[in-house]
Structure 1
């Protein structure tokens, strides 16, 4: 997390002559839902002839961007199903969250996450019961380090 509270985002950009690029992403710019309609998903266009120039486009623009002989690399990986819902066990309040990544922790038996949480209040130590498709799950979260800007750090407990 940068001093401004923004998440650090890294991307490989070998096509541009760089091996690694690190930029600062404000949390509100991190996608938490798929684009609707799907062809509204955004593209960053980089042309080999002008690698320092970036263009913004959408998936629907692909036919106009591609010429005969061009190669289109399709990423078929799936996004981690990282959205979760829960209820605070102390107040019954609803909590919605987005798992971002595992966070380092001193106890190797514990699992700590960096997550963006949406609830009325983020209280340190607040127990959150995760909800599965059929109701409450055996997993709980506990807020460890609330942040004024997402993400916060939570501890995940339950079956592994």
Structure 2
């Protein structure tokens, strides 16, 4: 299976630069995973594809302002950090630009010395281990000095930070939003509950693994970075109940999907658990728990389009993407949505 098998041609103007005003008014493509049949709806119509007894699974991670811009302590040279994951108290794995300035022992200053980051080690993909020094509470310092870590294909400034958070975000820790969830409003979630659909919250802190490009020709040689996830007892019970009673488990976003599949054992039971996952889902994968997926439109040749293809087929998904381009759907983080049913 080649990475190039998942290529499609995307006009640059279809990459959404800003979120639309009403979260749930984006377009919704409905893809039948078996037949490949396509319908065009509005996201509010997603409720029509959820049935009483189904379980809707949401990732309640919250994006931290993980992008820090500062300077080298001795020379004043500019530096940019992107915090990926906390490895221990006050120590983080981070991408550093330019990397050549970030040798072990080098110190960088942010906010005129309010936060000092010292390089204490090297990590995968050229990232660094950073030890931070500060006074007060780290989260408050980061909130003051950090910026939202928008993906590189978004060049417009985000006017409102909360627009890059889901309305149900709760646990701080992500370097990027679980963007399929950005379409939900509190009102729509209430309507879904009122219909008799169970809502389960899981957590996966989105790191580099989700967005790292596939740099190998052979898909099977790609290695995912690990990301922290958590499934509590209540969520596990809700998901298991839906499955046991013959209803659908519907994941919102590839991160929820990966969490659920990581936490489900070989007997098809999801367990209360937490830990690190580097699960890589691509065509040929046998889903243990997930029946339907609500997701955005992803980058060509990405692990995300491979995951969606695993739930349907590569042919169906690429046909759907071709239709999305033709119908001028908006792509990527602030773009439109698809439900694979």
Q: TM-score, normalised on structure 1?
A: 0.49
Q: TM-score, normalised on structure 2?
A: 0.25
- Greater relative contact order (Cα 8 A, min sep 6): structure 1 or 2? 2
Structure with bigger strand share is: 1
